[in-house]
Amino acid sequence: MQQYLELLDHLLTHGKDRPDRTGVGTRGVFGYQMRFNLQEGFPLLTTKKVHVKSIIHELLWFLSGSGNIAYLKKNGVTIWDEWADADGDLGPVYGVQWRHWRYNQQVRKSLGVVEVQIGEVDQIANLIRDLKSNPFSRRHIVSAWNPPLIPLMKLPPCHTLWQCYVEEVDKHTVPTLHLHLYARSIDSFLGLPFNIASYAFLLTMLAHVTDMDPGDLIISFGDLHLYKNHFAQAKEQLSREPRRLPLLCLPRRESIDQFSYDDFEIIGYNPHPAIKAPIAV
């Protein structure tokens, strides 16, 4: 994935040094964008080995609507351990907002009586319904940024909001589904390879349950940064030559909730060895 190496080089060369919440310090840029065409191969990093198992299980966990890491622990995934409390709770993070966005609203009745209605929104179910029934809508949006609940989240959402776009060449061609993610803050060495693969998996899943083909994954960044204790690892990665992208084999399902870990088959993944780096909490 040459796009990723260009991003690392851009950060090292043009980024500005900034303090940060963790105290480690970063070098970053604001407003960068990258694009991956899934028809050219699955965008899984080849200049270092990425732990695919963790990415898939995390995505399935998001889609389950849970804010507790019990599912991840059961499947040997530890990437959220540093943020969870003693009971495994993270608060109303990504999956909770995707599947259980809660609300209460005042509805004015006759004679001036006000009634409070309480409910929740399944953004994923609504998205899939609308992609099928009204594909050219400009409202295919899922948000994880719920301002009143941010203080209750152990880590506010980094990949904040995403939008889908349907492209149809003609009535005789299968439509193409594109996905554009906005990320407010991204750790480019440890987090971003996961985010790229995760949203590429998600785009493919959405395409398969709506009878479309996956197209472009576009990611726009707010604060894109490289931690200072990742500089050496980034330079080591830049010294490596990218290899051929693998292919994703994923069955079509009627519902996005029918996918399981065993459905995901990565063909031809031949990466360079992993590069370890400390995580900033």
Residues carrying an active site annotation: 158
Structure tokens at 122: 């399944």
Strand 247-249 and strand 141-143: the pairing is unpaired
Q: Considering all CA atoms of the chain, what is the largest pairwise distance in Å, rounded to the nearest integer?
A: 73
End-to-end CA separation in angstroms for the chain: 27
In what helix (H) or strand (E) does residue 44 lie, and over which residues does it extend?
Answer: none
The answer to whether the beta carbons of residues 195 and 219 sit under 8 Å apart is yes
167 SS3 class: strand
Q: What's at 236, amino acid-wise? A: E
* Distance, CA of 229 to CA of 27 (rounded, Å): 10
**Partners of 51 in beta bridges:** none
* Distance, CA of 7 to CA of 234 (rounded, Å): 10
* Distance, CA of 144 to CA of 65 (rounded, Å): 12
How many other C-beta atoms lie within 10 A of the C-beta of residue 129?
Answer: 12
The answer to whether the beta carbons of residues 141 and 163 sit under 8 Å apart is yes
Structure tokens at 86: 């003693």
